[in-house]
Amino acid sequence: MSDHNQKLESFHNLLKIMDELREKCPWDKIQTNESLRTLTIEETYELADAIIKNDSTLIKKELGDLLLHIVFYAKIGEENNLFDIKSVIDSLTEKLIYRHPHIFSNTKVSNSKEVEENWEQLKLKEKDGNRSVLEGVPLSLPALVKANRIQDKARGVGFDWEHKEQVWEKVYEELKELQTEIAKFDHDKMEQEFGDLLFSIINAARLYGINPENALERTNRKFIKRFNYLESKTIKKGLNLKEMSLNEMDKIWNEAKKLD
């Protein structure tokens, strides 16, 4: 049996198991799109964690869990005569072919940036140009990820800086505006200006090819590593962090920095 046929057989077995579970398992029988939604979000984050850990075994497991959810939603759609797994796959295949004319047609591109720009233009054409550029950004996305996605979509239709260096003027402008509101102790305005500053920094990251989510996560992990070192050294010395001075903690913190 060819590798391709083996993959089809594995997928066919999964679909049969889903049919069995939906018919016979008390828990699976009562699930709905709504009851599965939060579980799907959790599974997505577990996959993201596995990717961060670069654990291929864990990635494989979490991909399986997420695939189960996709098959589950398709099964519910089939039961309600709305769609089934075939129509889901067919729709995806059609979209991939349409949005990759540089592969399946005669369009020429020279880099990935042009591919992304074509992608956004084609998405608009699917709605005859009547769809908002930002309509496809999920409202429930975490704010940092959402900001990056919003800016990406705006860039796809040409709304961007002519030269990436220009973004720093905006960053400094937003910083000054935040400092002005901090001096006034206006909390609502402070929050607003802080958001503007973060948005401009995320914009700068995008322009310089930096994923802000990945960048912040690297810093999170670095801080956790250093803080764990600080805690462990403190315990070994028979001390308590709450009883230590900031200077004492800084000394151990600097030791941790040298281990990065």
Residue-wise pLDDT for 4-21, tens only, equals 889 999 999 999 999 999
Q: What pLDDT was estimated at residue 73?
A: 98
Of the chain, the end-to-end C-alpha distance in Å amounts to: 49
Q: What pLDDT was estimated at residue 182?
A: 96
Separation of alpha carbons 9 and 2, rounded Å: 11
Separation of alpha carbons 260 and 257, rounded Å: 5
Q: What is the mean pLDDT of the chain?
A: 89
One-letter amino acid for residue 107 of the chain: T
Question: Under CATH, what is the fold of the domain 3-96?
Answer: Helix Hairpins (1.10.287)
DSSP states along 21-46: HHHH-HHHHT--HHHHHHHHHHHHHH
Check: CB of residue 211 under 8 Å from CB of residue 219: no
Q: Return all residues near 240 (Cβ < 8 A) that are at least 6 apart.
A: 234
Check: CB of residue 42 under 8 Å from CB of residue 51: no
3-class secondary-structure state, position 167: helix
Q: Count H helices, E strands: the chain? A: 12, 0
Separation of alpha carbons 232 and 253, rounded Å: 11
Of the pLDDT bands very low, low, confident and very high (cuts 50, 70, 90), residue 1 is low
Going from N- to C-terminal start, the domains of the chain cover 3-96, 214-258
Q: Annotate 134-166 with b (16+ C-beta within 10 A) or e (fewer).
A: eeebeeeeeebebbbbbbebebbeeebeeeeee
Radius of gyration for the chain, computed over Cα atoms and rounded to the nearest angstrom: 25
- Token pair in block for residue 68: 């189960």
Section 31-36 average pLDDT:
95
Total-model pTM: 0.63
> Does the pLDDT of residue 132 top 80, yes or no?
no
> Does the pLDDT of residue 129 top 60, yes or no?
no
Q: Which of 138, 133, 139 lies closest to 119, judged by CA?
A: 133
Q: Which of 161, 166, 165, 163 lies closest to 151, judged by CA?
A: 161
Separation of alpha carbons 162 and 201, rounded Å: 17
Section 195-223 average pLDDT:
94
